[in-house]
Amino acid sequence: MTHIDIVALEVGQEVGAESFTFTRDSLVRYAGASGDFNPIHYRDDFAQSVGLAGVLAHGMLSMGTAVQVVVNWVGDAGKVIDYGVRFTKPVFVDAHEGALVTVVAKIGLIDLEAKTVRVDITCVCNETAVLGKAQAVVKL
């Protein structure tokens, strides 16, 4: 487990950054794990028939991937005591190239009394933020 000295942290400090590639295989595996077999996540023809540009990743896959950077930093998923996002744009997953999602986590607020840190997360695909107001609160 990682020991983090809350007093040494600064607002704006980057605590993690990582890129993830979503592939069509990733979507199939996530569908199996989550039980979400909506065809917009694996069939281009169906996605286009409902007005989408193509197959898109599950929103909860994007959300879960983004918080992983915070979990990696803190070293224990149980220390994440609150997490929320707004879904702002879909992550379209190309059949051949997939989709590259880049996540950066920075300290947004430090509460020394409560021993909590709010981590602000950016999650970007194709230079577009796909999550808004993504914030995790970590108990240190």
pLDDT at 3: 86
CATH fourth-level superfamily of 6-139? Hotdog Thioesterase (3.10.129.10)
pLDDT at 2: 64
For 76-107, the pLDDT digits (tens) are 999 999 999 999 999 999 999 999 999 999 99
Let me know: does 99 contact 22? Beta carbons within 8 Å: yes
Side-chain-side CA neighbours of 27 within 13 Å: the count stands at: 23
Annotated domain spans of the chain: 6-139
For 113-139, the pLDDT digits (tens) are 999 999 999 999 999 999 999 999 999
For 34-84, the pLDDT digits (tens) are 999 999 999 999 999 999 999 999 999 999 999 999 999 999 999 999 999
Q: Given pLDDT bands bounded at 50, 70 and 90, which one contains residue 16?
A: very high
Retrieve residue 37's tokens.
Answer: 């077999």
Amino acid at 17: A
Side-chain-side CA neighbours of 88 within 13 Å: the count stands at: 13
For 111-120, the pLDDT digits (tens) are 999 999 999 9
> Any residues with CB less than 8 A from the CB of 135 and at least 6 apart, and which?
82, 83, 84, 85, 108, 118, 119, 120, 121
Let me know: does 37 contact 31? Beta carbons within 8 Å: yes
